[in-house]
Every structure is written in structure tokens, then in C-alpha cells.
Structure 1
Amino acid sequence: MARAQGARAQMALAFETTYGTPPASGFSRMPFASATLGAEQPLLNSELLGYGRDPLAPIKDAVTADGNVIVPIDAQGFGFWLKAAFGHPTTTGTAAPYTHEFRSGGWMLPSMSIETGMPEVPRYAMYSGCVLDTLSWQMQRSGLLTATASLVAQGEAIAAASTAGTLADLALQRFGHFNGAITRNGAALGNIVSAEITYANNLDRVETIRSDGRIDGADPSIAALTGRIEVRFADQVLVNQAINGDPCEMTFAYVLPSGEALTLTAHAVYLPRPRVEISGPQGVQATFDWQTARDAILGRMCTITLINSIEEY
């Protein structure tokens, strides 16, 4: 008997025209490292008395479908997750390379259908009405560069065969930590040990009364772009900014030698005043838990630019 193995698992993704309705075609094969996306329906214990000490049968509660997907930050596939996080991009270029610009602040987020498959069982789970809640990743000196996409889905449908049809394959061109750089107000920011970036749509689940126990949607509320930078304490630049309460523009970028690039620009970053501790004979480090606000001139919080050979997302 065949047993499920993660090495044979696969994932397909397509954007929906109607929320909660998987499209008949247009799915792409997505690279991923792990996934906790799933649906669960807990049981409610009976509270009734009068039938002895043994409990009566439980009843089913509402369905909850959500989870995380760990994906590589690459030049092509990552654009699908950026579209889910920010909405449709503005694309320029008449031939490759194309430049896709994603902007924060949009009111409408596209929903996705995501199918995870374990062909040896066989088990194919189609998650419809997937909306991206948060997208986060870390920058560091070494290691594999991945991002975590947290999703809220409407429901799950299980089948013995795939319903995604023929999948479009993407060329995998991964960015690495070695390709990363951080700038502040256009100048390279040195002495950075690590950085964390989190963009959140702060979804509000529309939990209405339905016979199937599913949600009616997931609406975005006030967005947030936050993170943390850990620096070797070498000067007072960041501390002075925190004390003065002034914002700065910070850019987190990756560039491949072949020309593909990913750049996140946070237009108005505010820094808290940190505690600078001397914990021993080693170098002194300071941690800044930063947050971004809407830039008064640009009218948005952040911009992400992705340069690749994909003509349209």
C-alpha cells in the first residue's frame, strides 16, 4: 500500500474570478517547502443532562480553513504571492524583462484556489477562497531564503484526482541571502546582523450563518508593515532618528546577476528608542522593532518592484 510522502507532494495555484469558486483552468505549479493549509471542524460536547453519566453524542461546529505555506523567494513564483498580498500590479515593458510594481493600500484583494496533492494515496485537496493575511520573511547572512504566507480560506474539497487540469510550469530562479542589501534614505545601511519583514492585511473573517458552516469572505482592514532589524552598535544614526521621531525610507532588495530583482521600499519607517545593553565582552548589538506609516507625499505605505520575464500576473 502506498503511503503519503512529502517528497511527492505538489501544489497548484490559480486566481479566482468569483470568490470561493475554483477556476476550470489556469493553474500554475508552485514551488513550496511546507504547508499547513487545511480545514478543521471541531466537535462540541453535549451539555445536556438527564441521560446518566455517559455523554450524549457531540455535534459539529463551524468549519475553519487556514494555514501557512513556506515558499521560496524567487524571481517568478513569488509574484503570485505578492499579487495575493497587494492586489494587481502595474506592469511596464514591451519585452522581457518586465517590471511589476505592487502598491500597498488597495481595498480589493484577489482570492485564490490552491490545490495540494498527494498522488500516492491519492488525495487532492482544493482550498477555495484563499486570501492572504500575512507575508513575512527574514534577511540574514546565510541560509535558504524563504517566506511564510499565511492564508485564510473558505473551505476544502477532497477528491481522488486532481481538478486543477494541466499545470503551467514556472522557471525557478531563487534569490539568496547573498543577493540581499538594505539601504536607508538611499545610502547603504551597514552593521546589519539580521532583519525581519512582515506585511499584514489583518483580514476580518465574514462569519455569517450558513448551512455549510463556511465563512462568506475575508475582508482586509488596516494594513501593517512592520519588522525588526538587529544591528551592531557602531554609531548613533538610528538611535538619533528614534529619539527625534523622524521617519526614514528603507529599502530591502535582492538582485540576481542575470538582472532579476525584488525590491521592497518602505516609504516612512519609524524606529522606537531601543535599549542598548552591554551583555559581555563581545560586540554590542541593538534591536529596532520598526513600523511603517503612510507617506504623505506618495499616499501609500510601501512599494514592491519585481523584475522578471513574466509578462503578466
Structure 2
Amino acid sequence: MARAQGARAQMALAYETVYGTPPVSGFRLMPFARATLGSEQPLLESELLGYGRDPLAPIKDAVTADGEVVIPIDVEAFGYWLKAAFGQPTTAGTTPKTHTFQSGNWTLPSMSIETAMPEVPRFAMYSGCVLDQLSWQMQRSGLLTATAKLVAQGETIAATTAAGTPTALGLQRFGHFNGTVKRNGAALGNVVSAEITYSNNLDRIETIRGDGRIDGADPTMAALTGRIEVRFSDSTLVTQAIDGSPCELEFNYSLGANASFTFTAHAVYLPIPRIEIAGPQGVQATFDWQAAKATSPARMCTAVLVNTFAAY
């Protein structure tokens, strides 16, 4: 009897033309490290009395389909997740291509994602996937990955794939070693770690349906938050926090002229942190920052992916 193993699992992704309807072609093979994407339907315990001490049979509740996918931040495939988070990008250039994603779009694309366990076989197609949150961390070492939280409409299980033969992308990963942090265009020193979280704050449209699924997931007010932990060496960030003025934070990864990823939060507000002395080691300060819509440019954030990929 075959046993499912994560080493043999595959994930294919394609954008949908109609929400909740998987396309017949156009699937891409996606690199991923972990996935909790799945569908569940809980049982409701019977509350009826008068039938003795033994309970009556439970009934089925509504269907919930969602989960997380841990993905590498790479040169090509990461653009699919950026499009899911921000909407259609603007692409310019010949070689390389510059794909610019901007916050503030009212319409987000939906995706169909198939996870395959060919040895069982089990091919689970999740339709109507909309990205709720995209987050990652910057640090000195380790593997660079991002976490995409998804809300899906439903799950369909089959013994054969519905994604055909997905087209594989060239995998070229960014690493923590390739990362830099800038404040107002100048390198920000003494940064120990950083966290970035962009949220679409999806509103599930939970209407009454015969199949128990949702009707959609609409974006509401977006949010961009994070944390930077720095070695306390000067009062620049503390002074900004006290003044209540914003700054621009830029998080960048580069592998050369033809491969880079730059994420810019245009108006970042810092809280006044508590400066603790924990012992004889160096003193560190942690800022849980929040971003807002800037005056110029009139948006909250911009993500720019440079590669040789034609279009997303």
C-alpha cells in the first residue's frame, strides 16, 4: 500500500477567470516548503432531548476552506503570490522586466491551487483561493521564506490531476545574505531582525448555499505592520517615534541587475519603545511599526520584482 510523503507532494497554481471555477489550463508548478491548505466540515452535536441518555446523530455544519502555504522568496514564482496580494502589476522593460505591484487595488485575483499526493493517489483542487495575508522575516542567516494565508471557496478531491502538466518555473532563491534595510533612502544600521506583514483583511461572503461554501472573499481595509529590532546605538528612531512623523522603510533583496525584490513602505509610523537593560550584553530596542497611506506616492506600499519573466 502506498503511503503519502511530503517529499513527493506537488503544488500547481493558476489564476481563475470566474471565481471558484478552476481553469482548464495555465497551471504553474509552485515551489513550497509546507502547506496547511485544506477544507473541513465540523459536526454539530445534537441538542434534542427525550430520546434517552444516548445522543442522536450529529449533523454537518458549514464548510471552511483555508490555510497557509510557506513559500520561498525567489526571483520568478514569488511574483504569483505578489499578484495575489496586490492585484495586477505594471510590467515594463525588455531584459530585465520590472514588475511593479501597488497597494490599494479594490479587486484581487482568485486562484485555483492543486496539491498532489500521487502515490495515494489524491489530487485536491482548492478553487476560489484569495490571499488574505503575506508575511516574512529578515534576519542574518537561515532560509528565507514567506507565509501566504489563503481563504478558499472549496475543495474537490480526485484520483487524477485536473491541472494537466504544470509548467515549471526557474527557481532562483533570494537569501537573507542578499537583504538590506533602508530608511528614507539611506542604509539603516544595527538592525538585528525585521518582520513584514501585509494583510488584505478579507471579508468572507457567507451566504446560504446548498453546498455550504462561501460566495466569495472581498478585501476590506488593508494593513501593513511589522517589527524591527535594532541594537540601541542612537536616538534616531526614538526621536521619530516621539515626534510622530513617518519615514520610508525599504526592504531589498538583490542577486544582481536582473534579479531583485524591493518592498517599500512609504509612510511608516513608529511607537515609543521600552528600552530594557536585560543584562551585560548589548541593549536592543524593538519597534512594532505601522504603515499608512503616504502623501507622495499616494499609496501605502510598493513591491518591485525584477526578473526576466515576461508577465504575470
- TM-score scaled by length of structure 2: 0.99
Structure-2 residue corresponding to 1:54: 54
1:296 Cα deviation from its structure 2 partner: 1.8
Partner SS state of residue 83, structure 1: helix
Structure-1 residue corresponding to 2:154: 155
Structure-2 residue corresponding to 1:296: 295
User: Per-residue displacement from partner, 1:204-250 (whole Å, max 9, x unpaired)?
Assistant: 00000000000000000000110000000000000000000000001
Structure-1 residue corresponding to 2:186: 187
Structure-1 residue corresponding to 2:90: 90
Partner SS state of residue 167, structure 2: coil
CA distance in 2, matches of 1:305, 1:233: 31
CA distance in 1, matches of 2:275, 2:121: 55
Q: What stretches of structure 1 of length at least 5 have no aligned partner?
A: none
CA distance in 2, matches of 1:130, 1:153: 4
Runs of 4+ that moved beyond 4 A: none
Structure-2 residue corresponding to 1:79: 79
Trace 1:79-228 onto structure 2 (pairs within 5 A): 79-93=79-93, 95-228=94-227
User: Per-residue displacement from partner, 1:2-38 (whole Å, max 9, x unpaired)?
Assistant: 1000000000000000000000000000000000000
1:83 Cα deviation from its structure 2 partner: 0.2
Contact in 2 for aligned 1:192/1:230 (Cα 8 Å): yes
Partner SS state of residue 134, structure 2: strand
Contact in 1 for aligned 2:75/2:306 (Cα 8 Å): yes
Structure-2 residue corresponding to 1:18: 18
Partner SS state of residue 128, structure 2: strand
Matched-pair identity in %: 75
**2:13 counterpart letter in structure 1:** L
User: Per-residue displacement from partner, 1:51-84 (whole Å, max 9, x unpaired)?
Assistant: 1000000000000000000000000000000000
- TM-score scaled by length of structure 1: 0.99
User: Per-residue displacement from partner, 1:246-286 (whole Å, max 9, x unpaired)?
Assistant: 00001000000363000001000000000001111000000
Structure-1 residue corresponding to 2:41: 41
Structure-2 residue corresponding to 1:253: 252
Q: What stretches of structure 2 of length at least 5 have no aligned partner?
A: none
CA distance in 1, matches of 2:167, 2:243: 51
User: Per-residue displacement from partner, 1:81-119 (whole Å, max 9, x unpaired)?
Assistant: 0000000000001x2210000000000000000000000
CA distance in 2, matches of 1:248, 1:49: 63
Question: RMSD of aligned C-alpha atoms?
Answer: 0.6
Contact in 2 for aligned 1:9/1:118 (Cα 8 Å): yes
CA distance in 1, matches of 2:268, 2:9: 40
Partner SS state of residue 106, structure 1: coil
Contact in 1 for aligned 2:258/2:308 (Cα 8 Å): no
Structure-1 residue corresponding to 2:234: 235
CA distance in 2, matches of 1:296, 1:43: 50
